[in-house]
Structure 1
Amino acid sequence: MTTPVREFDRFEELAGPQLYRRNVFAVTGLPTHASGPAVRRHRQKLEARLAVEDRWPGARDVAPAGGYGKDEVRAAFEGLQDPRRRMVDELVWLWGSPDSGCGCSADVHELHDSAVVLHARALRAETGDVELPVDQRASLWEHAVSAWGHLVADGALRQHVRHRIRALGDPRLDEDAADDLLAGLPKLLVSPFPQLFADPAAAARLTTVCSAWTAFPPFTGLFSELFERAVEDAYEKIHGDLLAAEREREAGRYREAFLLLRDRVVPGFEDLAPLRPFVSDWRYDEIAHVVAVGLNNLAVELLGVSVYRPPSASRREEMIWLAEKAYEIGPDRDSQGLKENWETIYDHLTGTGRRPGRATPFPWRAFLLVLVFIGGALSYLIGAFGFLPVLFTGVAVLGVVGSLVRFLAWLADGVRSGRRTR
């Protein structure tokens, strides 16, 4: 009977940036094909060594600095006795050259071991175990993703895994379990990213790496699940800060509400940017909506207060910032209403009637056409009546028009003053 994938608890135990460090073959230094007698002899050797020493270095090139303690080594050997746990560790450790029984091509083993080494080194660089420039990390990730992606997508590992299950010969595991083992491998390989994304600088850089994984079908959709907790944690923090800002707003402590929105809510939302490719559209729009509404509510309330109490220069800046940010963050369904509020606040504070956004270009073509028309009319009038009569008449007309314009301006100012006093 096939062992269900849910029985492979070892996948969850290994998951994370330290998946290679915790591998039993990294801890013990044994090769993946080690048999029972070889395992027992090596265990006895290490137990004797650890009786007089505190640490054992583990496998070369992959084990962490400082090695492993006695308890870690003992637990690793215990894990080797369960074939279900052992096979998970074998999947992500070095296989070496093909033996006579597995029937794999040398290329498969070579690509697999290259994937292990590259992936392990990339993770050690990201966790600070080794110093490596960013461009070299990018190269490691590129090759590691390509190697693992092709191996898992092509099903090239299945033959070797089935062979290893036969070689172990344990009734707790049959050959059909190879499919369940390989089904759990993609999620294990990308399991380090939620923790790596805790560093915003690393998150922005590793977004490209995550996108590269999703180019291979076995990894498609995994990141949404892996980052679901991170997204939920971020949303809960944003929601909590929004509630705190809302309480401050309702109590009339507008400065405190503004600082919460500026220093905590908006940065919290912006921290979601690296996760954007792996968050469903509806979920992201929901978060954007509540943030935009929180910003807009405070901006509108400050606008209402400013009708009765002229705002200070700093308060004016806060109102415009809130309205702009609300429009910038809000999803498409909110954009029209948020834009209207932004324009209203801008008009109220500047008193110019201007709207934020792209300036309207000067109508040069129409202006030139008017000049041509006026020039033609003047030429005709001068030719018909003479220069002096046209000049005197034009001056009189300009005087009348000027008086009319001043009267209309005075009338408009009176209307605006009446509206502000209501």
Structure 2
Amino acid sequence: MTTPVREFDRFEELAGTQLYRRNVFAVTGLPTRASGPAVRRHRQKVEARLAVEEGWPGAPEVAPAGGYGKDEVRASFEGLQDPRRRMVDELLWLWGPSDSGCDCDPDVHEWHDAAVLLHARVLEAETGRSGLPVEQRASLWENAVSAWGHLLADGTLRQHVRHRIRALGDPRLDEDAADDLLARLPRLLVSPFPQLFADQDTAARLTSVCSAWAGFPPFAGLFSELFERAAEEAYEKIHGDLLTAEREREAHHYREAFLLLRDRVVPGFEDMAPLRPFVSDWRHDEIAHIVAVGLNNLAVELLGVSVHRPPSASRREEMIWLAEKAYEIGPDRDSDGLKENWEFIYDHLTGTGRRPARPTRRFPWFGFLLVLAVIGGSLSALIQVYGIVPVLIIGLGGIGVLGYFVQMVVAFAGAARSVRRRK
């Protein structure tokens, strides 16, 4: 009974930026079609050389400076003895001309070997192991993605893989394993990106490359899984820094809280920008929400403190920066409230608009009652002298004249203000 390929860890061993460099055929220099006797003869030759030298150069396509060490070379030869491991490495190395009885279309081998060489070469450049200029890497990425994407989307590799399994003739691996091998290959091909995204400049440049990979069905959805761990680690770091800043705020160590938010939390959030296309919307909004709330809370508390103690110029700048950053970072659901806080803080500190409400003055009840008493006494005296009807007529007429006079004063005042605004 054969053991399914998925139970072996060769895919995990090769994953990363050195997936081609660690390939057993790259290390030993053997062709992928090498049979038992050829492998033994080549191994004897290599071991004789390693007996007098410290390293073996390996295949010229990806040979590292100084070659490979003895232990790595010997481990690679041992790996060739297991067909289940060997077939993983064959998928990622050169097949050569299609004259080995596999009946593949010649274009399949040509496209496959081009994909291997292009991908290996651009990975060497991105990891600093070659001097290829940045401006020349875009075309390598584009062609590597296109070659691998079409080969795996079309299913044209399956015939060759099944042929190679038959050629090896090892009972530990049957032809049905070809489907398992090809199903796991896409994840291995894109496994270098989490390491490459550790550098922010590289990450920003390669975001479009990842999108190109994801445009082919075999790679669709893989990037969210690949970057899930990176996003989770970044989230945990941001959350930890926010908690520390919150404790400093609660202890009234406002300067320390501000520095934590400015120098660690906000840069940590901004560093996640290259991962944005590969992180779910709800996850990104969750992180944006807690960062915005942390910034906003400190800004509002500093504003409250400023009511009792006028802030310095630097403290005013800090408050405005906190409120503005909170609005910029916050998700859509928080934008209205954060914008209102930012505008209020800005207007309060710069004097350009709204200001805090002035303290309410107490109503002058004594004066109000005194005026009522005077008016009531006067009316009572007039009624006794002239009677109630004449007093009412005169009073209503006076109120009408007074109302007209007040209306004219308001109109003139409005016209004067309008003139001042236009100037």
TM-score in terms of structure 2 length: 0.83
Q: Could you tell me how far apart the structure 2 residues matched to 1:15 and 1:270 are? A: 27
Counterpart of 1:334? 334
Query: By how many angstroms is 1:349 displaced?
Result: 1.1
Q: Could you tell me how far apart the structure 1 residues matched to 2:244 and 2:56 are? A: 52
Change (3 A) 1:314 1:34: same
Counterpart of 1:91? 91
Query: By how many angstroms is 1:404 displaced?
Result: 11
Counterpart of 2:224? 224
Q: Could you tell me how far apart the structure 1 residues matched to 2:304 and 2:5 are? A: 61
Counterpart of 2:283? 283
Counterpart of 1:411? none
* 1:235 and 2:235 correspond: yes
What letter matches 2:336 in structure 1? Answer: Q
Counterpart of 1:168? 168
Counterpart of 2:192? 192
Deviations 1:281-305 (A, max 9, x none): 0000000011001000100100110
Counterpart of 2:371? none
Query: By how many angstroms is 1:2 displaced?
Result: 6.4
What letter matches 1:55 in structure 2? Answer: G
Counterpart of 1:75? 75
Counterpart of 1:14? 14
For structure 1, which segment, 62-71 or 269-278, has the greater mean C-alpha deviation from structure 2 after superposition?
62-71
Query: By how many angstroms is 1:62 displaced?
Result: 1.7
Q: Could you tell me how far apart the structure 2 residues matched to 1:190 and 1:56 are? A: 28
Change (3 A) 1:341 1:213: same
Q: Could you tell me how far apart the structure 1 residues matched to 2:319 and 2:333 are? A: 22
Deviations 1:189-208 (A, max 9, x none): 00000000000010000101
What letter matches 1:207 in structure 2? Answer: T
* 1:121 and 2:121 correspond: yes
Query: By how many angstroms is 1:3 displaced?
Result: 4.2
Q: Could you tell me how far apart the structure 1 residues matched to 2:4 and 2:10 are? A: 13
Query: By how many angstroms is 1:6 displaced?
Result: 2.4
Structure 2: gaps (5+ residues): 356-407, 418-423
* 1:263 and 2:263 correspond: yes
Structure 1: gaps (5+ residues): 356-396, 407-422
Whether contact under 8 Å (2:2, 2:171) holds in the other structure is no
Query: By how many angstroms is 1:35 displaced?
Result: 0.2
Counterpart of 1:32? 32
Counterpart of 1:101? 101
Whether contact under 8 Å (1:2, 1:177) holds in the other structure is no
Query: By how many angstroms is 1:403 displaced?
Result: 12
| Structure 1 ranges of 4+ moved more than 6 A | 402-406
Q: Could you tell me how far apart the structure 1 residues matched to 2:5 and 2:288 are? A: 38
Query: By how many angstroms is 1:344 displaced?
Result: 1.7
Larger Rg belongs to? 2
**DSSP-derived class of the 1:65 partner:** coil
Query: By how many angstroms is 1:354 displaced?
Result: 5.8
Query: By how many angstroms is 1:100 displaced?
Result: 4.0
Deviations 1:304-333 (A, max 9, x none): 101111111111111011001001100011
* 1:311 and 2:311 correspond: yes
Deviations 1:359-395 (A, max 9, x none): xxxxxxxxxxxxxxxxxxxxxxxxxxxxxxxxxxxxx
Q: Could you tell me how far apart the structure 2 residues matched to 1:305 and 1:221 are? A: 49
Query: By how many angstroms is 1:47 displaced?
Result: 0.5
Counterpart of 1:209? 209
Q: Could you tell me how far apart the structure 2 residues matched to 1:347 and 1:403 are? A: 26
Q: Could you tell me how far apart the structure 2 residues matched to 1:403 and 1:62 are? A: 83
For structure 1, which segment, 169-178 or 341-350, has the greater mean C-alpha deviation from structure 2 after superposition?
341-350
Q: Could you tell me how far apart the structure 2 residues matched to 1:278 and 1:291 are? A: 20
Q: Could you tell me how far apart the structure 2 residues matched to 1:404 and 1:303 are? A: 38
Change (3 A) 1:102 1:312: same
Q: How does 1:38-77 map to 2 (within 5 A)?
A: 38-77=38-77
What letter matches 2:41 in structure 1? Answer: R
What letter matches 1:162 in structure 2? Answer: R
Q: Could you tell me how far apart the structure 2 residues matched to 1:44 and 1:354 are? A: 86
Q: Could you tell me how far apart the structure 2 residues matched to 1:136 and 1:14 are? A: 26
Query: By how many angstroms is 1:65 displaced?
Result: 1.8
**DSSP-derived class of the 2:55 partner:** coil
Counterpart of 1:182? 182
Q: Could you tell me how far apart the structure 1 residues matched to 2:27 and 2:414 are? A: 95
What letter matches 1:245 in structure 2? Answer: A
What letter matches 1:108 in structure 2? Answer: V
What letter matches 1:56 in structure 2? Answer: W
Deviations 1:33-74 (A, max 9, x none): 000000001001100000000011000122222110110110
Q: Could you tell me how far apart the structure 2 residues matched to 1:100 and 1:233 are? A: 48
Counterpart of 1:419? none
Q: Could you tell me how far apart the structure 2 residues matched to 1:107 and 1:336 are? A: 58
Whether contact under 8 Å (1:2, 1:176) holds in the other structure is no
Query: By how many angstroms is 1:405 displaced?
Result: 7.4
What letter matches 2:146 in structure 1? Answer: S
Counterpart of 1:130? 130
Deviations 1:216-269 (A, max 9, x none): 000001011111111011111111111111111111111111111011100000
Q: How does 1:326-405 map to 2 (within 5 A)?
A: 326-353=326-353, 401=412
